[in-house]
Each structure stands twice: as structure tokens, then as C-alpha cells.
Structure 1
Amino acid sequence: MDSLTHAAIGACIGEIVLGRKLGRHALWLGALAQNLPDVDVATALWLPFSQNLLVHRGITHSFLFGGLVALVLALALSRWKPTKKVGLLPLLLFFLGQIFLHDLLDTCNAYGTGLLLPFSETRFSWHLLYVADPLFTLWPVLAVVGLLSLKKLTLQRRKIWPLLGLLLPIAYLGYAFQNKQTVEQGIQASLAQQKLQVQDHFSTPTPFNNWLWYVVAASDSGYYIGYRSVFEDPAALTAFEFFPRNSHLLTSYPDQQEVQDLKQFAAGYYLAEQRQDTLLFQVLRFGQVLGWRDKNATFAFHYYLQPKLDNTLAVQRGRFQGWDAATMRQLFHRIFQPASTQTTK
């Protein structure tokens, strides 16, 4: 989840839990607490990029880290004059709740969150929301703006704003879950009808919405990739395009540790591509750059193995490429008027 969303949700929680005793301090303390796990971005200053990919949303997003940091912060702030009247235990519970909620919200995206580190390397991704979904973020942001701009609200009315700022995103999460179930039913029917031999698959929302979903199904030698709208005819087949994995292109690469780091980050969903003299490692979990419009589009995460070009923006490189007003119109047309000419029997 993006930092703005975390900050706004944290501020709403701060107002509800501590607003009576701390006033405006509760908003800022909540926003800060909610973003604490993202201190791992500082590791980019010294770690190689392929290792930094694994550190982000790693140990600082674990329950162990959250518990320890919450205890340290509660002990430290219990001596701060504005929070002395709150008490140690309420402060501890406040920080625990904020940090754990941050971690759980991050599991809704495609990146993968190491909740159980260092005891388990498992990364959790439920693929419910795109990392920046305006309809999820809007409500807590509006609530915080309301709280900051309307200074003469009574205590009761001040509670209404943050409650709406939290309840509406919760309702949206439920809506996203329902959308995923709808899409999954169509995907599984499509795979079966087309007799595609796959080992596993995942579906995740395309950028900035929860209506058009990107689908990747893994086979022995590659991946079937397609797109499905929640407004698709339930009997419509999802069209898939096959992409070979090309693992053999990686065997002669000199830095095999770098390759292993990238494979671990990709969670098994990757492919290699040779473009003339350029060797690319592409992670499929983050989708294609406008792939719903161009079936052969570049994958958003593409990492240059050879030659050694700048990879520091590999996660972000393709997210906003080609987006303009015309693209938005085409996206909405694909969502709300899907081509459903072929149906299952």
C-alpha cells in the first residue's frame, strides 16, 4: 500500500483512539506510527538492488519487528509530556495495532510481505488491491482533510469523520474480495474449457482500479497471461497469450547469486528475454505496461542483467508509462464493454 494511504488510515485511527487526550497530536502520531514498517526503504542506500528487493517488506514488516518496535516506542513516549496521561499499556496497544495493520494491508497487494520473518521466509500476497487504488485511499484522505480544516467540530462530530474514513475502505475491501471471486470463477472455467495444462495461477488488479484483473497461469515451460473484467459475461472465455520462461538464458549469467535473489523475489513467476545484446529478467507479478491494450507489452518489472544498466527503478519503471487521457478512456472501455464474443459451452 502507498504511504499516503497508510498515513491517512493511521491518522484516522489516531483520532479515534487518542484524539480525546492528545488533540491534533493524535493525527500526526497515528500517521507516523502507520508508516513505521517502511523504514526499510533506507536500505537502498547501501544494499545491491537485487537484495534490497527482498529486504523491502521483509523483517521490518514482520510481527516480531512490530512487537519490539511497539514496545520501545510505548516506553519512550510514555515519558513525553503530551502522552503521559495516556499510559503505557494504551500506547503499546496503539502502536501494535498501527504497525500490524500496516503489515496486513500490505498483504493485499502483489509485492509480498514477510509477516513471519525470521522464522519463515514465506511472503504473503492476497492480490486484492493494486498498490495505489484511488477508491480505497479517497475516504481516509477526505476524513483527515475534514479533521484538519474544520476546527470547531464537537467531540462527537469529530469521531464521525475518522469512522467513515475507516469503515468505507473496509467495505471496499469486501467489494474487492467479491470481485476477485467473480474473476476467479471465470478464469478457472476458461482454463478448463481451453484445456490449458497449468500448475498454478494468480489474478491481481490492474493499475488504479479493481474491475479489470491481470491473470497469470504457470505451466512447465512458461505462462499463459490474460485479462478479465468483473463485468465480463460469466460464460465468456478469457483469452490467454503464452510467454516462454526461457530459463536457459540465465544459466550462463556470471552472477548467479543475483539471479537467485531475483527468482526468490519473483516467487516463481519470471521469464528471461534476450533483446539483441540486452538480457532482461522480468517479474510477472506486477503486470504488463498497458498489457490489456497490447498483448505483447513489456512487463512493468524488467531488470537489466546485461549490459549493467540502472535498475534502481525496476519496480516502478513501467507503471506510468504511456498513461494519458486516451489511455484512461480505453481502459474504461475495456472494463465496462468487454469483448465477450466467445463463450463456454
Structure 2
Amino acid sequence: MDSLTQAVLGAALQGTVLGRIQGRRSLIYGALLGSVPDLDVVIRYADPVSQMTYHRGFSHSIFVLTGLALLLAWLVHQLARKRWPDKGYSLGRLFLAFWLVLVTHPLLDAFTVYGTQLFWPLPFTPLSWAAVFIIDPLYTVPLLVAVIYSAWVGFNGRAVRCLSLALLLSTAYLGLGLAGRMAAEQRLQTALDAQGIETSEVRAMPLAFNSLLWRVLAKTPDGHYYEGISSTFDHAPPEMQRLSLNLGLAAQLKDAPLLERLRWFTDDWLRYDQVGDALVVSDLRMGIPGDYTFRFKMAHRGDRGQWVAERPSVWKGSGPRFDRAALVLIWQRIFAQRPPLPLATWTEKQLGQGREPGP
């Protein structure tokens, strides 16, 4: 999630557990501690694929963060015994506060689509529950209001209850997001089943700044995928387009270790495109149809026409580009299924090819 959300979540948690002891300072301490896992962004890697896939790694591991929480709790407890013996800083209470603040950061990240290595150094595919968009005001605002209220009135019974209620509401919202994701996947699966289309994997992710409108991907055994749009309020089958993963191009990079790492990190939700003399690999999970957030040039044509792997670079035009016109259409689509989103137009504009013939 975004930095503001992680900070207010940390503030709310530490305020709830230690607010009666630390007062308003608990909000500051919690906001700072809750931002610690993202300090890995200061590490610079040699290429953008490594930069992407090593982020949310060791610094987001529940094993590392549990050890850090225990160390911090012990240090503060030792200091408190000497300087503030009457404050009530028990080791257990300190550990609970620090552990909750630290561990909920990667847990919340795992509810987005990016991918979080909760169990580093174990080689599991990064967790990506895709229940909320990376910036979602409906999740953040209740926590922010509760933190501001507690900072304003000071710590008393009402402030702690307000923080606890905000934490309860935000957690429930994550649960609703998971339910929405599963419902969106089921709607597309039902639509494909009705047309006799066999699928191997189905994956939904929320579109910009909400958990009501979903982009749903479905792979087919023949190397294609369907990309559909589904809203919580839909009554008819979702609009969709059929596109190729271009797996023949992937075979040209079969020995490239960074491609294998990217496949692992994204759970192999990748498509491959030849653009001129460049081989471009796109992460299908993030962005809007045809306009994917992470695209990398990973090979070029050699003198004899063969593909030559190279150090990956960010493909021109990559990155989040939610222009105003697209956002207006996306927000209108939440509540009305007609007109459908212009999937083929967006795809043709960004990828240079439109929808394949098919349903």
C-alpha cells in the first residue's frame, strides 16, 4: 500500500496498544515504525527487473520483522526499567505493539496485487491476494480520521475506542475486497463456461482506487488469455477480449535467469511482444487493458536475426498512466455496464494490436 496508509495503520495500532502509556507520541512512533519495511527502496539494483522483484523481500519477511520486534521490545524494556519504571512498559506489551505495527505492514501489502515475500527466505511465490488497489481511500480515510482525532483529544477511553473501531472497519473492508475478487473471478468463469471456453487459471485485480470494479484475466491451454471487466453491480456477463500471450517469444529467452525470476515473482502472468527489434515482456497484473504498469525490454535482434538476451530496461511508456479520460470511464463503469469499456481500443493504442477474433 501507499506510504500514508502504512503510516496511519502503524500509528493506529501503536496508539491502541501503547497510547495510554505513551500518549500522543505513540502515534508518531507507530507511524515511523510502520514505515520501516519500505526502507528497502533505498537499495538500488543493477536492472529494473531486480529492482521490482527484490522489493518487498527480506524487509517484508514475517521472520525478519518478528526478530526485529523482539529486539526493539527488549531494548525499550531495558531502557524503561531504568528511566520510566512506573510507566508499565512490560516486555510482552512492548513486543505485541511492535510486532503488530511491523508485521501488519507486509500483510497489508499482500492484500494488493504487487507481490509480497512474507516468508522470505523460503522460496514461495510472493503472496498477492489482490483485494484492494494500492491506493484506496475507503481503507485509509477511517484510519486517518481516527489518528487525527486521537492526536487532537489526547488519549482517553474514547480515543482508544475510536482507533479500535477504525482498525475493525479497515480489516472488514479487506475481507469485502477478497469476497469481491472471488465474485469477479466467478462471473468471468461462468461467462467463459457458457461459451465452452476452457481455462487453466483465472485471476482478478481491482481497477484504480476502488474495490468495486475488477479486471479479470483467464488463461487458456492454447497460450491465449481473456481480459474482462466486471463490476460488483453487474447483471450481465462481463465484456472481454481474447489476446495471445505470445509464448513462442518466451521460448527465445528460456535460459535468461532474470526472466525466470520475473515469472516466479508474477506467478507467470506475463505476455511477450515483438516491437520492432525489441522483445518486450509485460506483467499483466497491474495497469489497465493494454496499458500495463511494468514492461521490460529483455532482448534484441542479433546480426543473424536471432534473439539476444540483454540486461533488462524499462520499456518506453511503461508506468502508471491513469489519464483523466480513462479514470472517468472506469468510475462510470462501476455503476453502469453500458457503454462497456473500450478494451480493444486501449489495447490497440498501447500494444499496437487489437482484439483477436473470438467471443
TM range, smaller chain: 0.7 to 0.9
Task: Determine helix, strand or coil for the equivalent of 2:234.
Answer: coil
2:165 is matched with which residue?
A: 164
Counterpart-to-counterpart distance in 2, 1:333 and 1:312: 32
Counterpart-to-counterpart distance in 2, 1:106 and 1:76: 28
1:299 aligns with 2:292: yes
Aligned length in residues: 326
Counting only pairs closer than 5 Å after superposition, residues 27-176 of structure 1 correspond to structure 2 as 27-43=27-43, 45-80=44-79, 85=87, 86-148=89-151, 150-151=152-153, 153=154, 155-176=156-177
| RMSD over equivalenced CA pairs, Å | 2.7
Counterpart-to-counterpart distance in 2, 1:311 and 1:113: 22
1:264 is matched with which residue?
A: 264
Asked whether the 8 Å contact 2:298–2:313 carries over to 1, the reply is no
1:276 aligns with 2:276: yes
Asked whether the 8 Å contact 1:198–1:219 carries over to 2, the reply is yes
Deviation at 1:121, TM superposition (A): 2.0
Distance 1:173 1:258, change over 3 A: closer
Distance 1:119 1:253, change over 3 A: closer
Asked whether the 8 Å contact 1:214–1:287 carries over to 2, the reply is no
Deviation at 1:255, TM superposition (A): 7.6
Asked whether the 8 Å contact 2:297–2:315 carries over to 1, the reply is no
Distance 1:79 1:313, change over 3 A: farther
Counterpart-to-counterpart distance in 2, 1:271 and 1:286: 12
Segments of structure 1 that go 5 or more residues without pairing to the other structure are 292-296
Segments of structure 2 that go 5 or more residues without pairing to the other structure are 301-309, 341-359
Counterpart-to-counterpart distance in 1, 2:170 and 2:33: 19
Q: Which moved more, 1:134-143 or 1:172-181?
A: 172-181
Counterpart-to-counterpart distance in 2, 1:91 and 1:269: 41
Counting only pairs closer than 5 Å after superposition, residues 202-281 of structure 1 correspond to structure 2 as 202-220=203-221, 221-233=223-235, 236-252=236-252, 256-281=256-281
Counterpart-to-counterpart distance in 1, 2:119 and 2:205: 23
Report the TM-score, using the length of structure 1 for normalisation. 0.85
1:198 is matched with which residue?
A: 199
Distance 1:47 1:142, change over 3 A: farther
Distance 1:300 1:54, change over 3 A: closer
1:294 is matched with which residue?
A: none
Counterpart-to-counterpart distance in 2, 1:171 and 1:265: 28
Counterpart-to-counterpart distance in 2, 1:138 and 1:94: 22
Deviations 1:165-210 (A, max 9, x none): 2122123223323323432331221120121121111111111011
